[in-house]
Structure 1
Amino acid sequence: MQASPVFSFANQAGLDMLETTLGALEEIGLEKILDEHGRRSFFTEFPHIMQQGFACLERGMCLSSMGRPVSYERAVAWKVVNEEQNVHCICLMFINWSFA
């Protein structure tokens, strides 16, 4: 059984896009945000993220925690490592997002 990714931090733009608060952020799973195309794109690029350190994801749609559709022009995912070079987390940045 694979653990579901959890959002643990977002800046104010990320909180606005997801229509949530920092306290409620962990309750939102990746599977609730990215649509099927977005999840497929993310998991297809995941090996590149782990090997190269980052990957660009295609234009897509996601949903805010309130169920509102959000479109984004591009997303960038990158890995963050700790002092021992072990993966600490994966970060996502959505570029040119807007409520659809």
Structure 2
Amino acid sequence: MTMPLPQRFTTPDMRSRLGLIAESHERLTGRPLAPGNADPAETLWSAPRVIVAHGVQADPVFFFGNRAALDRFETTIDAFTAMPSRLSAEALLREERQALLDRVTRNGFIDDYSGIRISAGGRRFRIEQATVWNLIDAQGAIHGQAATFDRWIDLPAD
């Protein structure tokens, strides 16, 4: 059963933020996340790859996770969009995650990230060849960071 686009992603503000995810990805990487004139909200939500984004708070909180992200992280949209993004990484690997975010801040994007993440259910998995990029508007203001990946390896339970 496919899950329709949640109401929270249909507001004008959120549609603008989702458009920025798609537009900034294409501008920075040269690769589109969404087909040319498709609705970015619907396209990002239903994409077969994980797509997540967080804001610019001191402890950034996810504001978007698509259907694939909710499945992979074993969570609901309400729980995911209330979670600080650092909690998607294991405690021991949060320092590695911060180094990644610093590199993205310096370079605009990276497309070679690998790292271990943990689902809400405690399942550990290693993401590979993830693209992480800054959400930069046309005026150069940074609105957060986003990531996408479609390769992972489930890791054995400890």
Task: Give the TM-score category using the shorter length.
Answer: 0.7 to 0.9
Quick check: 1:60–1:74 contact (8 Å CA) kept in 2?
no
Aligned to 2:147: 92
| Structure 1 unaligned spans of 5+ | none
Aligned to 2:108: 53
Quick check: 1:10–1:22 contact (8 Å CA) kept in 2?
yes
d(CA) in 2 for partners of 1:41, 1:73: 14
Aligned to 1:8: 63
Quick check: 1:17–1:64 contact (8 Å CA) kept in 2?
yes
- Cα RMSD (Å): 2.1
d(CA) in 2 for partners of 1:80, 1:10: 15
Task: Indicate the structure (1 or 2) with the bigger Cα radius of gyration.
Answer: 2
TM-score by length of 1: 0.78
* Percent identity (aligned): 28
Q: Could you tell me which amino acid in structure 1 is paired with residue 66 of structure 2?
A: N
What does 1:15-94 correspond to in 2, within 5 Å? 15-35=70-90, 36-37=92-93, 39-94=94-149
TM-score by length of 2: 0.53
Give the deviation of 1:87 after TM superposition: 0.4
d(CA) in 1 for partners of 2:128, 2:100: 17
CA distance change for structure 1 residues 60 and 45 in 2, over 3 Å: closer, same or farther? closer
Structure with the higher helix share, 1 or 2: 2
